[in-house]
Structure 1
Amino acid sequence: MTATPGEKRPGLLRHLPLLLILCIALVGSFTLRDYLSFDTLRENREALLAFRDQNLVGLAVGFFAIYVIIVAFSLPGAAVASVTGGFLFGLAGGTALNVLAATVGASAIFLAARTGLGATLSRKIDASEGTAGRIRDGLRDHEINVLLLMRLVPAVPFFVANLLPALVGVKFGNFLWTTAIGIIPGAIVFTWIGVGLGEVFDRGETPDLSLLWEPHIIGPILGLCVLAALPIVIRLVRGRKEI
């Protein structure tokens, strides 16, 4: 009888990282929204630029760490952080830091979910048949294409694109590189907005993040989505013809 609690405890501990992330995300959504904002960046603009000029490496490390925490705990302010990367480090440096930090943070969520709820759910999906089994097989047959689509389609929330693959048993290696590659187009757009942020602040305005939906921006991204989806469509069409 005394062995049962001991046997259950490791299972409960596996869920602890994901539960911690969810709790911090919930608390952060209410307490940090007013702090991780463009108003905060505007107020601290001169201090940040002065610190950058004195200690570029230190600021880059600090920015990277904060961005990883924002993504890993799904805190509000990811878009602000991306724009800030362009404001402080330029298009090339800002994009590199944004992509690297976002990828590391996304990997943290993936691994937290994989060690707990993801492992349990993945085993159940592996043992299932019928519709669930077909979905499982379809996802694994098109794993890379689906992962790239989730990153490229702007309508897919970043947290969902981090969590869902872990819950259905996606390989971590594929998740890692598709995340790094798939977020580059969006990262370039937000970093680009940040490059001109000083002029926006000088005019007393707030950055317009709706630029992502402009035809000349969203068009190429949707084109990449079509390329990622094309192998899935072709295989589905071939499968129907064989039937």
Structure 2
Amino acid sequence: MKEVTQPAKRSVLRHMPLAVILVVAVIGFFTLRDYLSFETLRENREALLAFRDANYPGVVAVFVGLYFVIVAFSLPGAAVASVTGGFLFGLGLGTTFNVIAATLGASVIFMAARWGLGRTLAAKMDASDGALKKLKKGLRENEISVLFLLRLVPAVPFFVANLLPALVGVKFVNFAFTTVIGIIPGAIVFTWIGVGLGEVFDRGETPDLSLLWEPQVIGPILGLCALAALPIVVKAIRGRKEGI
């Protein structure tokens, strides 16, 4: 009886981290979206700037910690946090802190999913035949390119780009590397918006996050997407020629 109970307990424990993340994400969606907003930032901007000037290292630590929690638990307000990074620290440091916090938070989701559900699915994919096995093989051959595409394509939700790689068994080092590099373009855009946030608030306006979809911004990002997809296309063409 104990031999049966122990594996069951281990299975439950493995799934617990991801389950906690999902529960907190749902609760946060309904309870925090009115607080983690640009309106809250507008109302507290003078206090935030004063606190930053009085205790810069402390503000950096608090900011990175809060952003990390937002991403790790998929809470609302990630865009607000990114813009706040530019508002408080400028383009260079703001982008750096945004990327660090987002990468750490993304890694938590990845590891939570990998430890539980991802381990189960990866084992099933390794043991399977047919289309599922081909999918796993294709992913392994193009792992870096696929991960870059997940990060660069704006239509892919950040949570999905954190969760999906863990479920199909990609290497953590590749996940971390492509996350750091792949989120930099978007991080720069949002941080840049934050640099001019004070003037936007002075005019009584709200930051326009649609800037990401402007041709001069989305064009280079789509170009990076095409570059990331190029190795996949080249391998597919070579595979067809070899099969003829």
- TM-score interval w.r.t. the shorter chain? over 0.9
Corresponding residue number in structure 1 for 2:193: 193
Q: Do residues 168 (structure 1) and 163 (structure 2) align? A: no
State the alpha-carbon separation in 1 of the partners of residues 83 and 112 from structure 2: 27
Percent of aligned pairs with the same amino acid: 71
- Structure 1 residue 7 displacement after superposition: 2.5
Q: Do residues 79 (structure 1) and 96 (structure 2) align? A: no
* TM-score, normalised via structure 1 length: 0.99
Corresponding residue number in structure 1 for 2:5: 5
Corresponding residue number in structure 1 for 2:65: 65
3-state SS, counterpart of residue 207 of structure 1: coil
Task: In structure 1, list runs of 5 or more residues that go unmatched.
Answer: none
Flag as ranges the 4+ runs of structure 1 deviating above 6 A: none
Corresponding residue number in structure 2 for 1:119: 119
- Structure 1 residue 242 displacement after superposition: 1.3
Task: In structure 2, list runs of 5 or more residues that go unmatched.
Answer: none
Corresponding residue number in structure 1 for 2:14: 14
Instruction: Give CA deviations for 1:151-196 in whole Å, capped at 9, x if unaligned.
Output: 0000000000000000000000000010000000000000000000
Deviates more, 1:172-181 or 1:5-14: 5-14
- Structure 1 residue 2 displacement after superposition: 3.6
Corresponding residue number in structure 2 for 1:211: 211
State the alpha-carbon separation in 2 of the partners of residues 153 and 162 from structure 1: 13
Question: What is the number of equivalent residue pairs in this alignment?
Answer: 243
Q: Do residues 109 (structure 1) and 109 (structure 2) align? A: yes
3-state SS, counterpart of residue 107 of structure 2: helix
Q: Given residue 86 of structure 1, which amino acid in structure 2 is its aligned partner?
A: G
Q: Given residue 28 of structure 1, which amino acid in structure 2 is its aligned partner?
A: G
State the alpha-carbon separation in 1 of the partners of residues 7 and 196 from structure 2: 57
- Structure 1 residue 4 displacement after superposition: 1.6
Q: Do residues 220 (structure 1) and 220 (structure 2) align? A: yes
Superposition RMSD in Å: 0.6
3-state SS, counterpart of residue 207 of structure 2: coil
Corresponding residue number in structure 2 for 1:156: 156
Corresponding residue number in structure 2 for 1:95: 95
- Structure 1 residue 6 displacement after superposition: 2.3
Corresponding residue number in structure 2 for 1:133: 133
3-state SS, counterpart of residue 51 of structure 2: helix
Q: Given residue 69 of structure 1, which amino acid in structure 2 is its aligned partner?
A: V
